[in-house]
Amino acid sequence: MFQGSRTILQRHGPLMLKFVPSLAHVALIALITLAAAGCSKERSFPVYRENPAPQDALPIVIRVHDAPVDVPVPSVFVTYEIDPLCLPPVNNWEGVQYEPNQHKVEVQAQRLSATEFSSAVFNDGMEVADYYGRGPCTWTPVLVEASFPFIIDDRPIRASVAALFTEIEGGRTFTAYVKRALPPLTTGQSTERTPTEPSSWYEKMPPEKREEYFPIEVSTRIEGASQ
């Protein structure tokens, strides 16, 4: 009996020696995974604050041309990006920066006509503060977004256009195109969205296809001037 066991060990000893470190390796990976999961659950971030009294305003106007349905007042948002030097250094084994580097602020829009709307977006829409103990964090506006909650055939669907803040600030007009049928991008969502296409894509279309789309424009609004 003993000799048989010894023979088995002699036969399988090297295999068992190779197998034991493999188990230890698997156990180590499991421990690291659990530790990472635990850290992610406990991860918390400072609350970014909007500037309660912004001063550096950029008036904008949003125009919708030849829409197939009534045009509702859009929701207007500005996305701000924090100075990356303010964020703490990455010190996790994944090499990932988990602290959020952007924040979106909604601003009000007013109706000018059935298809035109005005708003004011701000360069200083976020509060400069010491969020991470590394000195005051500054913010840069990067995107202006207008989102329209259309209703077509008794179904709600949202069309959103997003322009670079610097382009609008520089006087350029941003134009995106929406299919007149307002088809959903995906189905089954609580709020469906329809895709929008850039002007560079629209310009490559044959004329007969262009008739299937209507444009939405975002530009600066010069007070007292007709545009």
Task: Compare 184 and 95 and report the one with higher pLDDT.
Answer: 184
| pLDDT higher than 70, residue 120 | yes
DSSP string covering 85-133: GGSPPP-STT----S--EEEEEE-EEESSSSEEEEEEETT-B--B-SSS
High-pLDDT (> 70) share of the chain, %: 77
Report the C-alpha gap between 225 and 55 in whole angstroms.
22
Question: What is the DSSP-derived secondary structure letter of residue 152?
Answer: E
Write the pLDDT tens digit of every residue in 71-92: 999 999 999 999 999 999 888 8
Write the pLDDT tens digit of every residue in 167-204: 999 999 999 999 999 999 876 555 689 999 999 999 99
Amino acid at 1: M
Report the C-alpha gap between 25 and 9 in whole angstroms.
23
